[in-house]
Structure 1
Amino acid sequence: MPLKSDRPVALITGVGRRAGIGAAIAERLGADGWAVACSSWQAYDARMPWGPDPVRVGDFTVEADLADPATPARLFDEVTAALGPVSALVLAHCESVDSGFLDTTLESFDRHFAVNTRAAWLLMREFGTRHAGGEGRIVALTSDDVVGNVPYGASKGALDRLVVAAAAELGSRGITANSVNPGPTDTGWLDGPLSTAIRTRTPLGRLGTPRDCANLVSFLCGPDGGWVTGQVLTANGGLT
């Protein structure tokens, strides 16, 4: 059993793949001095085209199926028992299966909202309820992609509204809440023609990397980010 940490504790969801944004965030916050707890769900990556690429970073890792509404409370229980109370919550998990307006199934639509929206609300609610004082941070990864990716984009849009509500309602508890939209990020899913098209359209002339997003999350979770709350921040090299 890991020992309780004397460092502030950050809980990061969706840290399943070595090439993923969640792993980059975990590494960066660890370097910043946080005790890092990570959740992953390997069954998700196993059914996606890119396949599993498991990574173990941070101080404590939990397998967590966030489609189960009982998971958020259990996750906080386990992390708190292992490392101590959570001071920063980073929501980097998602369900993302491409489908359009006419061909999205009911099961897929419901699963996207269960994972991307309901679980995010339950995790933020647990954090707000358990927060014992001092500065707290919530950062959620979002997206404006929706055409041809309807359930993903719609559920992320709902997540943004939840984050705005969290900023307003939890601010009196010392908690900031923000969404980060990193745009297309090179985590292994971009093929040659799409990669070239995005580079061409991006003023800075390259693809976004997981580290780019991790740098912004680091700022928002740190002391210098304490006056930023209730925002949906886009950091995509000027693509939009």
Structure 2
Amino acid sequence: MSKIALITGASKGIGAAIALQLAEDGYDIWLNYRSDDEGAEKTAAAIREAGRECTPLKFDVTDEEAVENALAPLLQEEVPYIVVNNAGFARDSIMMMMSSDDWNKVLQVHLTGFFNVTKPVVSRMLRKRTGRIINIASTSGETGVAGQTNYSAAKAGLIGATRSLAVEVAKRNILVNAVTPGFIETDMVAELPVDQIKGQIPLKRLGTPQEVAGVVSFLCSDKASYITGQTIAVNGGIHT
């Protein structure tokens, strides 16, 4: 039976690149997305062209009932070997002008979403005594970024959750790690001053979603069998 990878927020950008890379690595994909039907189908088609099965799962990771309704029937039959918590978004503003809604929604997607998706899967991983959980955090969770108090708090929280969960499940051979991308060529940087940003990055360029996916692929491989509770940066040297 083929191994399965569940990736959240996988209709485009980093999530889609991770889904495609893991499909190339031989995994069937459970592809979560919230609303981008066109992007999800495009990614699913590419996965199938790579010779792997893809199960699109449309739900909002912050909605516990929706997560349960989508995953429970599948988990009765199979348990993913990999969970990649990638779903996320930003609502940037300096704190003095930030609404409570923008604060709450960003934390809900990154932290509550991580909890809602990971809990039902990891409980079954424990019974199988194997699995990999990869959380896509951000350089913003490691260093201060003006205008991203909510996003930085959420990503820092995800890094902390990664470390704690890794300790909890290590004895059952489940590895939990975080990957922290810097400035990556996705929709999230489309409206930023890219030329100015490049000047601040030692490698003088943005990263690609495929470069993030390559690190996730490594962490899911047998070559990373003694790595857990770690945070791996993919940021071109902008933060060390």
Does TM, normalized by the shorter one, top 0.5? yes
Secondary structure, in 3 states, of the residue corresponding to 1:158?
A: helix
What do the CA deviations read for 1:161-204 (whole angstroms, capped 9, x no partner)?
11111100011121111110110100144358722123222222
1:113 match: 107
Q: CA deviation at 1:21?
A: 0.3
Q: In structure 1, what is the Cα distance between the partners aligned to 2:108 and 2:202?
A: 36
Q: In structure 1, what is the Cα distance between the partners aligned to 2:32 and 2:190?
A: 28
TM-score by length of 1: 0.86
Q: CA deviation at 1:78?
A: 4.3
Q: CA deviation at 1:111?
A: 1.5
Q: In structure 1, what is the Cα distance between the partners aligned to 2:64 and 2:26?
A: 31
Q: In structure 1, what is the Cα distance between the partners aligned to 2:99 and 2:90?
A: 13
Between 1:6-15 and 1:203-212, the stretch displaced more is: 203-212
Identity of aligned residues (%): 28
Q: In structure 2, what is the Cα distance between the partners aligned to 1:68 and 1:124?
A: 13
Secondary structure, in 3 states, of the residue corresponding to 1:66?
A: coil
Alignment of 1:13-28 (within 5 A): 13-17=8-12, 20-28=13-21
Change (3 A) 1:190 1:156: closer
Change (3 A) 1:151 1:135: same
Q: Which runs of 4+ in 1 moved over 4 A?
A: none
Correspondence for 2:68 among 67, 70, 73: 73
Q: Contact 2:60–2:67 (CA<8 Å) still a contact in 1?
A: no
Alignment of 1:1-240 (within 5 A): 6-17=1-12, 20-42=13-35, 53-54=39-40, 55-57=42-44, 58=47, 59-80=54-75, 84-131=78-125, 132-145=127-140, 146-191=145-190, 194-240=193-239
Change (3 A) 1:224 1:120: same
Secondary structure, in 3 states, of the residue corresponding to 2:64?
A: coil
TM-score by length of 2: 0.86
Q: In structure 2, what is the Cα distance between the partners aligned to 1:103 and 1:78?
A: 43
CA RMSD, 1 decimal: 2.1
Q: Which runs of 5+ in 2 are unaligned?
A: 48-53
Q: Which runs of 5+ in 1 are unaligned?
A: 1-5, 47-51
2:50 match: none
Q: In structure 1, what is the Cα distance between the partners aligned to 2:57 and 2:100?
A: 29
Amino acid paired to 1:68:
D
What do the CA deviations read for 1:69-107 (whole angstroms, capped 9, x no partner)?
22333333244367x211100011013111221112112
Q: Contact 2:79–2:121 (CA<8 Å) still a contact in 1?
A: no
Change (3 A) 1:73 1:191: closer
Between 1:134-143 and 1:53-62, the stretch displaced more is: 53-62
Q: In structure 2, what is the Cα distance between the partners aligned to 1:101 and 1:135?
A: 41
Change (3 A) 1:193 1:75: closer
Q: In structure 2, what is the Cα distance between the partners aligned to 1:101 and 1:211?
A: 33
Q: Contact 1:133–1:174 (CA<8 Å) still a contact in 2?
A: no
Instruction: Please state which structure has a larger fraction of its residues in helix.
Output: 2
Secondary structure, in 3 states, of the residue corresponding to 2:97?
A: coil
Secondary structure, in 3 states, of the residue corresponding to 1:140?
A: strand
2:51 match: none
Size of the aligned set, in residue pairs, is 225
Amino acid paired to 1:106:
S
